Structure formats: C-alpha cells, structure tokens
Amino acid sequence: MREDTMLQKLWAGDPAGLEALMERYIPYVSAVVWNILRSSMPAEDGEEVVSDVFLAAWRQRDDLRPGTVKAWLGAVARNRAKNRLRRMGRDLPLEEDALEIPGPGDPSEHYERTVERQLVRQAVDALPDQDREIFLRHYYYAQTVPEISRQMDLNQSTIKTRLRRGRTKLKDILTREGFLREA
C-alpha cells in the first residue's frame, strides 16, 4: 500500500491503515528499539516498546505527514526505548563517540572533528528542504534511492542528482574550511 493511501486510512480511523503501517515499518522500528535496548531486558519488553510506538502513531495519526512517517516512527521508537531503560533504572547506551577522550597531545584533533561535525550539520541544514530530506533519508536513515523515490513520489534520477548536489556542497564547504584538500 502506498504511503499516502496508508495515511488516508489512518486519518480516517481505519485499522487497515495501522496494519499497513505496521507491516511496512515493524522491521525498522524493531531495529531502532533493539539498537538501544540491546540485551538489557527480555524480548517481551522490547516488543511492548515496539507496540507502544505504533499505538502512539494511531493516537497521533493526525500528526503524520507524507514523507516523514519513517522519521517520525524512528524518533518515537528512540524516545520510547530510552524511556523504558530509564524506568528500569538502567543506563542509556552511549553514542560511539560520547566517551571519546583525546589522547595525549591530541586535543586539537578532537576539536577539529567537533568543528567538522558542526560544519556538516550546518551545510545539510542549508540545503533546500526537499534536498535536505532526501540527503537525511539516504545518509542518516539509510534509505535506498528506490525507497526514497517511492515514499517521496520522485523520480530516482532526480534523487540521485540531489544527492550528488548535496555531496558537492558539503565537499565545497569542508574544503573551504580546510577540512578537505582540493583534488
């Protein structure tokens, strides 16, 4: 079922819309939840978190918009999983670089990486709305070009062109700021 059809059913209160949403996104939501929970709780608790995400989608269905469903579900899944860990008195898993401590004589490298991340974030934010959404879907949410094409109702060649344009813009900014060398 196409995303817009699924959303129309959801907005109308038709349970078939929720079923289609779950069928399409349970693997994604489950992956997000289990990446946070890892083995810190029984499988039943993780499944309950996944169910809570879809219950939230049902209750807040008027907030869902075409092209943002997967991102919305991912954000809710992350928050619900983190909240479950907190309620159980467990620590949240750290991001990979959260405890990155610069080695001796190396604080400037740590600073440069931080500045580089900020520049990349600013460059992505500076992209036009649709280009930014395509860029984030592809590089942050790991969606394939065909998935993005289907969900955003755009031609695959258009998506590839916009991804290339975004990469070029990022490269130009990072080169100008001295983080990349000109080829």
Q: Given this model, what pLDDT does residue 151 score?
A: 82
Q: Given this model, what pLDDT does residue 108 score?
A: 56
- Does residue 80 lie in a domain region? yes
- Does residue 102 lie in a domain region? no
- Does residue 136 lie in a domain region? yes
CATH number at residue 64: 1.10.1740.10
Angle formed at CA 150 by CA 148 and CA 154, multiple of 5 degrees: 75
Of 125, 120, 96, nearest to 179 by C-alpha is: 120
- Does residue 97 lie in a domain region? no
Indicate whether 126 and 51 sit together in one domain: no
CATH number at residue 155: 1.10.10.10
Indicate whether 74 and 132 sit together in one domain: no
Indicate whether 55 and 116 sit together in one domain: no
With beta carbons less than 8 A apart as the criterion, state whether 93 and 41 touch: no
Each residue's pLDDT tens digit, 111-134: 666 777 777 777 777 778 888 888
**What is the full DSSP assignment across 39-82?**
TSS-HHHHHHHHHHHHHHHHHTGGG--TT-HHHHHHHHHHHHHH
Indicate whether 12 and 63 sit together in one domain: yes
The two tokens of residue 167 are: 């990469």
Give the E-state strand segments of the chain in sequence order.
none
- Does residue 37 lie in a domain region? yes
pTM of the model: 0.50
Q: Is the pLDDT of residue 106 over 90?
A: no
Instruction: Give Cβ neighbours of residue 59 (< 8 Å, ≥ 6 apart).
Output: none
Domain range for 30 is: 3-87
Q: Given this model, what pLDDT does residue 97 score?
A: 38
The two tokens of residue 122 are: 């600013």
Q: Is the pLDDT of residue 109 over 70?
A: no
Q: How many domains does the chain have?
A: 2
Indicate whether 111 and 81 sit together in one domain: no
Each residue's pLDDT tens digit, 53-105: 999 999 999 988 888 899 899 889 988 888 887 777 644 443 433 334 444 44
Each residue's pLDDT tens digit, 18-62: 999 999 999 989 888 888 777 677 778 888 999 999 999 999 999
Of 51, 20, 44, 50, nearest to 32 by C-alpha is: 50
Indicate whether 28 and 64 sit together in one domain: yes
